[in-house]
Amino acid sequence: MDKKLVLAIVLVSLGLGTSFCDKPVWGFYGHRLINRMSVFTLPPELVGFYKNNIEYMTEHAVDPDKRRYATKHEGVRHYIDIDKWDKIPFPNVPRDFEEAIIKHCQIRFISGTDSLYFDKSITADSVILSTPHFGGVRLAIGYPVFVKYWKKVVKPMYYEDEWRLSGYDLDELFNTSYFQQNKVDVLIEDHFSEHGIVPYHLEATLGKLTRAFESKDKTAILRISAEFGHYISDAHVPLHTTSNYNGQLTDQVGIHAFWESRIPELFAEREYDFFVGKADYIENPREYIWNIIIKAHGYLDSVLLVEKRLSKSFDLDQQYCFDERLGKTLRIQCPEYAAAYTAAMGSMVEDQMRASIHAVGSMIFTAWVNAGQPEIENITEYVEVKEEPIVPDARIQAKARAHDN
């Protein structure tokens, strides 16, 4: 039997055949499929557990998107506007999350009702904070010492609304008495995270999953694995690596869902090959993660330019068709236009879906190996995972990107 026909049968029998089509949000389709297929890349010691819970892995592949509107910290985990910072291979973007924040933060000094930003100069050796105001101040400290202090004192404040250091803290850090004498406090403003943190979040999640394996906490293993799969897949989407994330800067609004939702929906089950082999152990997760970003971003030019070129040779009514979905009429890219787009991009969408499946399996496998390969007994009953309630917040809803599923 033809390999792709076999796959179609496998997918249908796994519940992927029609169950997705009644979901109104199209990007969910790809996430569910990738998480589901990743289970089959896992080694014998893990595959039983994940197969028994494959419905959970599939359904909960989209939890992070559902949560995007509940907290401002969620949205930024799904992308990185890497072109805001640098060009491939991004030598100027620190791979350490805290160092990236340090590089782009602003430090505001507050004394009574006065407040001003300090000039910040960072080299590999030192951090210098200075201002001609407040009687003229110049404070210098070794860079490694500053980073170490930051990780101890500032990092734990990440989820707080305000990152404030007292004069006491600063005097201790800079070995002065200046701050307490002048009653100066410091507010640190993070200007990095808002442009996306997906590679850093992947590294942190690998650590979380490793700890869940170490404690053999099946509920946590499952919940983190399903969400990990989501973020890993997002990192493979070229339009998740740019500030032009929905073609809004190049008059191509809608290209995000076109690439990551419409095309997989039309072609994945019938035409893509999702046998990606066995998961690999990842020796250097940080480098592996950044290579995902570099590769995805490397595709960005073709994603945009090919569509731009095609849109000039197809009339508008050949580009957009009307589809009936859940009793609603939807204006969406025509199958012929989508076929021309995907053909002109080569096998990019398929390759990135396959790479996502393999990466999800490899990251789970790596977390398990790093945890010392604990025995996860093959349980037959479904693990009941308690969900944290998702409470939508209207203010965040207004700010969150509408596109990225």
The tokens describing 188, both together, are 């640190």
Residue nearest Zn ion (C-beta atom): 78
Closest distance to Zn ion from the beta carbon of 6 (Å): 30
* Measured distance CA(87)–CA(327) in Å, rounded: 45
State which residue, 377 or 387, has the beta carbon closest to Zn ion: 387
Nearer to Zn ion, 154 or 226 (CB): 226
Where does 132-206 show beta strands of DSSP type E?
137-142, 163-165, 184-189
Nearest of 342, 352, 349, 354 to residue 274 by alpha carbon: 354
For 371, phi then psi, to 5°, come to -85, 0
| 262 token code pair | 């419409």
Q: What is the closest distance, in whole angstroms, from the C-beta atom of residue 246 to Zn ion in the complex? A: 13
Q: Residues 142, 154: contact at Cβ < 8 Å?
A: no
Rounded least distance, CB 64 to Zn ion, Å: 6
Q: Do the beta carbons of residue 32 and residue 62 sit within 8 Å?
A: yes
Longest dimension (CA), the chain: 82
Binding-site member from 227, 234, 269, 350 for Zn ion (CB under 5 A): 234
- Count of residues engaged in binding Zn ion, rule: CB under 5 A: 3
Rounded CA gap, 405 and 399, in Å?
A: 15
At 186, phi and psi to the nearest 5? Answer: -130, 135
Shortest distance (Å) from residue 295 CB to Zn ion:
18
Q: Which is nearer to Zn ion, 186 or 237 (CB)?
A: 237
Q: Which is nearer to Zn ion, 146 or 245 (CB)?
A: 245
The residue (of 104 and 256) whose beta carbon lies closer to Zn ion is 256
User: Does residue 67 touch Zn ion according to CB under 5 A?
Assistant: no
According to CB under 5 A, which residues from 107 to 146 bind Zn ion? none
Tell me which stretch binds Zn ion (CB under 5 A): 73-81, 163-171, 176-184, 374-382.
73-81
Smallest distance from the beta carbon of 28 to Zn ion, in angstroms?
A: 10
The Cα–Cα gap between 297 and 348 comes to: 12
Residue 65 or 350: which CB sits closer to Zn ion?
65
DSSP 331: E
Asked if 59 contacts 269 with a C-beta cutoff of 8 angstroms, the reply is: no
What tokens were used for 2?
């033809």
Residues 26-65 that bind Zn ion (CB under 5 A): 65
Rule CB under 5 A: choose which of 32, 36, 60, 78 binds Zn ion.
78
Query: C-beta of 275: minimal distance to Zn ion in Å?
Result: 25
Residues that bind Zn ion (CB under 5 A): 65, 78, 234
